[in-house]
Structures are given as C-alpha cells and as structure tokens.
Structure 1
Amino acid sequence: MLKLSKGEQMFNILIYGLLAILGIITLYPFWNAGVVSLNAGSDTAMGGVTFWPRAFTLDNYKLVFEDGRIAHGFLITIFRVVAGTGLSVAFTSLLAYGLSKNHIMFHKFYMFFCIATMFFSGGLIPSFVLMKELHLNNTFWVMVIPFIINVYNMIIFRTFFRELPVGLEESAKIDGCSSFGTFVRIVVPVSGPVFATLTLFTAVFHWNDWFTASIYINKAQLMPVSSILQQILNSNLATEMLASQTGGNAAAINAANQAQTVSSKSLSMATMLVASLPIMLVYPFLQKYFVKGVLVGSIKG
C-alpha cells in the first residue's frame, strides 16, 4: 500500500466530499417524492414535509393500484417496451452492420442520408398527417414503428462493428456462412456490451415517452403509464392554478384537501414512483455494460 502525503489525503477527502454532496443533491428529489407519497394529504397540504413522512399512510399507493387505468397502462407500456426495443435494436443493428462494410455500393450516400435525419425533420404537423395517412393514428403501432430505426444508436453500432477483427467474419464465410448468418452467429455474440447498453437506452426511451401517445392516440385503452402520469400531473397543476386564481375560494379548496388522506400532489408523487421504479431497478444489472459499450462504440467517428 502506498502511503499518501497529507496533500493527497486532503485532496481525496475534498473529492469524496464533493461526490457525496452531488449524490445527495441528485437523490434528494426522489427521496422527497417518496416521503410525500407516503404522507397523508391533509398533512402534506400544511407544508414542511422534507426528509420523513409526518403522517404515514399507504392510501396514496392503494388508490394508485386500484385505478384500472394505471394497471392497464402498465400492460401497454410493457408491450411497447418489449416490441419497440426488440424491433428497434434488431433493425438498427442490421442497418449498422450493412453500413459498416466499405464494399457496399453507395454506403457513403446511405450514411449521409441517415445522418441528415438527425438534423432535419418534417415537423410535428407533417408527421401527424403521415401517421394518419398510414392509418397508424389511434393504434398501438404508432408508438413502435416510427422509432424502429435510431440513427444515433446506429452510429454506435456501426463504429463497434468496424472495430471487430476481420478474421472472425472471414473464417465464418470460409465455413460457408452467409452474411446474415455471420451477423447472427458471430457478430452478435461478441457484441454483448453494445447490445446491452443500447437495448437499455431504447427501453428507457419507450418506457418514459409520453409525448407520442398524447399526440397520436385518443383512446384511453391505448395510453401507456407515462401518458397517464402526465395527465395526473397536469390535473394537479390545474388544481393548484385554480386555487391561486379563485382568491377567497382558495381556503375552501385547501380545507377540502386537508380533510382527506389523499391529495392530488401526494397521489401524483405515488404514481410517479410506481411508474419509474421498474425501469430504475434494471439499471444495476446492466450498469457494467454502460461505459464499455458506449466507449468501445465511439472510438472512431
């Protein structure tokens, strides 16, 4: 063990102290949301709920799980994550594998065409008209098909594939393996880190995306849980704005909130945690792939 000088010890203490403060600042909003969700609405309305619930209750979570919209929204979200992530990773990696080969005719044009879509888009109204003409509006697939190809992920896949030893693919072709067979049997198994990383990034996007459903879907039975959460948050904001604009009636609204164990704020916090917890639990199991997968896929432009 190397003996550190006093200056190095002080530097380490300073660094660890700053990291601890940064960690607390990062985690406190989640902690406070959990505290509010476990606190009675009548007590939350009084303010001052910070580090620990003063009036512990599970009524907020009972109401969340009794709400049929949220349970059904979870099913829609799970189906979307599975279908959207699977299709996106499969098609994006196939496109990246093809563009990683310099012998493909016009591969530079295709690459330029893909990158151009990262900087220019038709806008929301043309996209809405396109989805309508394709009869995707008010369907489950409007949340999946438009996101099958992700250019940013494709670039990371492509760079990773270009770094693989050429001998792996040549040996497979000598044994009579086709290009698709080489990709499935040789390239995919040795590309675990980048596949795990981009699979998680794609799954997080599909889990958190509420905007797509709010624009293209009007049917309540197709709403994912993130869109339902957004509706609850908007309802909470509207209630607070109403209380601030009604002047004399604000006290009456406050009293109504204090008379119950569940308030719009505590309910929204409980719903937010319930919607966020499943995807947060996945991170620790795939964390080891993050740095390796992205950095290895970003060595060259």
Structure 2
Amino acid sequence: MRAKKTNKSVKPYEKGAFNIFNTIGMCIIMLVTIYPMWYALINSLNSGDALTKGYSFFLPEKFTLASWKLVLGDAEIINALWITGSRTIIVTIGSTLITAMFAYGFSRQYLYGRKFFAGLGFVSMYFSGGTIATFILVNWLKLYNTYWVYIIPALFGGFYNVIIYNANFKAIPESLFESAKIDGASEFKIFFSIVLPLSKPVLAALGVFTACGVWNDYGTTLFYTQSSSLQTLANYTLKLIKSSQAVEQLAATVMQSNQSVSALVNSSMGSGETTSKTVELAAMVLTTIPVVVAYPFVQKFFTKGVMVGSVKG
C-alpha cells in the first residue's frame, strides 16, 4: 500500500511568531551594524570641549563642523582621497573586464591547454610567492614607489573570480555563440555584445567586492611606497589614529611625573571646537562614506549576482 502523503500546513500563529523573531533579529543586526557608524559620525560633529567630558551616544552635545572643515581643508587628505578614488575606479573597471575576459576564454571547451591553466589557477588560490617575492618582483618591474603599483598588480581579480565568471558563462546557451559565429562575429564581438550584457548581475557583484577591497587596502601603500604623495585614504586614517594614540600615551605618562608639563601636553592635544579625537573620527567617517553611499545603487545587481553565481556554480 502506498503511504499517504501528509501536507502539513503552517499554522497562522507559527508563521506570525517566525515573522516576529525574524524582524527582531534583523533589527538587532541592523542596529549592531549601523550604530558604530552613527556613533563615529555624531562624535565627529561634537565639539572638542564637549568630547573631553565624555562621548555622545545619540546626538552631538555641542554641534560643530570644525573637525570636518579641518579634515576637508587638509591638502594631504584631499590628495589621499584622489589617489584612493582614482585607483578604485581604474582597478574595478580594469580588473572586472580582464578577469571576465580570461574567464570567457577559460569557459570555452576548445581552449588549448585548458587543464594546464586550470591547474595553475587552483595552485595560485592556495599558494603564493609571499611578501618578499612580490616585493622583489615589484621592484624589478620598476613599480616601487610609483602610482602604477596600485594599478598593474591588481588588474587580475584572482582565480576565485574566474570560477564564478566561468560558471555564469557556461550557463549561457551555446546556440547564441553558434549563431553569432555563423553571422561572422569574432570572439571579441561575442564577448562584448553577448557575454557581458548577459552577465551584468555577476559583473556588478564581483565589481562591488573588488571596489571595497581596493578602497580599504592599505598593505600596498605600506609595503610598496615611500612618498607621502602616494598614501591612500586608509593609510592617512591609520596615521591619524596612531598619532592620536601616541599623544594620549604621552599625556598619560607625563601626567604621572609632572603636572605643569602635563597641562601643556593636554593643551597641545586640542581644546575648543576640535581635538585630535574629533579629527580622527571625521577622517574615519569620510573613509567609509563612499562605500555606504554607492552600495544601495548596486544592491539589486549584487544580490542577484550572488544568487546566480551560487546556483550555477
């Protein structure tokens, strides 16, 4: 005898309870994610005198734009913003295009030496030359302490991205490629006219990952540059944080030994509308604003691209 199929319907109160807990959980996650940004923003808009009395948690105690004017008026941070922004745009576009082009060739079954390239790619995912070997290569290529050290080594997005692109390209019907070849289309024509337009979600998703990684990168500046004119926004912010910590440690040390010198150090830390801490917070917020602003515009492509890549992969 065939077993009877039992369709258990979800009871209304069970569905309601799930929605309630789901909503509460999402609100908690959203609060934990957004509040640190809000906390840094309101304290960067707080006056130095008010901040020395204690941090604000919801709204600035004494609103002022002095710290932001100081940060945005600094030629060094404007240059760092230009270096970071231009680098992010060039690398994101170049890396996305070059990696997708490589993945398209890799997705074609008639590619000569396909298994060999696959083996090299998988090895590169788990093993690398290391920092010293990379430094020697960068120096040998005359990229050290130049703007191009930010661009050329980052133009290939890695074999992990190739795998995601490859899974998406294989899902495109082969009949489209055959029809295009019958019409006399070249491989470049097929790639730019068929493959790229049909892969916008995946391109956008991996483009967001690439842009965020490049924007927040500070290791390249740390290892491969010396000139202050080549520092990125992340390195500038890190320098501000370290400077602020050094001043605070100096003040704490001097305070224990000499009160008159301690008063002088405390005054040098900043009083009135700005302090080293308010400037530091303003720089931190400035670093995160572009990513926060840009993400909502690509969110729909990002979500769809991740889903497509995971299902097809």
| TM-score above 0.5 | yes
Question: TM-score if structure 1 supplies the norm length?
Answer: 0.93
Larger CA deviation: 166-175 vs 226-235? 226-235
Q: CA deviation at 1:201?
A: 1.7
Counterpart mapping for 1:146-157 below 5 A:
146-150=153-157, 151-157=159-165
Counterpart mapping for 1:85-124 below 5 A:
85-124=92-131
1:247-283, Cα deviation, whole Å (9 max, x unpaired): 4258534455463321111111101111221221111
**Residues 3 and 119 of structure 1, relative CA distance in 2, 3 Å threshold:** closer
Counterpart mapping for 1:1-301 below 5 A:
5-150=12-157, 151-248=159-256, 252=263, 253-254=265-266, 256-257=268-269, 259-301=271-313
**Residues 164 and 280 of structure 1, relative CA distance in 2, 3 Å threshold:** same
User: Which SS does the other structure have where 2:30 is aligned?
Assistant: helix
Q: CA deviation at 1:210?
A: 1.5
Counterpart of 1:266, as a letter, is T
Q: Is the 8 A contact 1:98 1:104 kept in 2?
A: yes
Question: TM-score if structure 2 supplies the norm length?
Answer: 0.90
Q: Is the 8 A contact 1:42 1:257 kept in 2?
A: no
**Residues 176 and 278 of structure 1, relative CA distance in 2, 3 Å threshold:** same
Higher Cα radius of gyration: 2
CA RMSD of aligned residues (A): 2.0
Q: Is the 8 A contact 1:41 1:257 kept in 2?
A: no
Q: Is the 8 A contact 2:138 2:144 kept in 1?
A: yes
Counterpart of 1:63, as a letter, is L
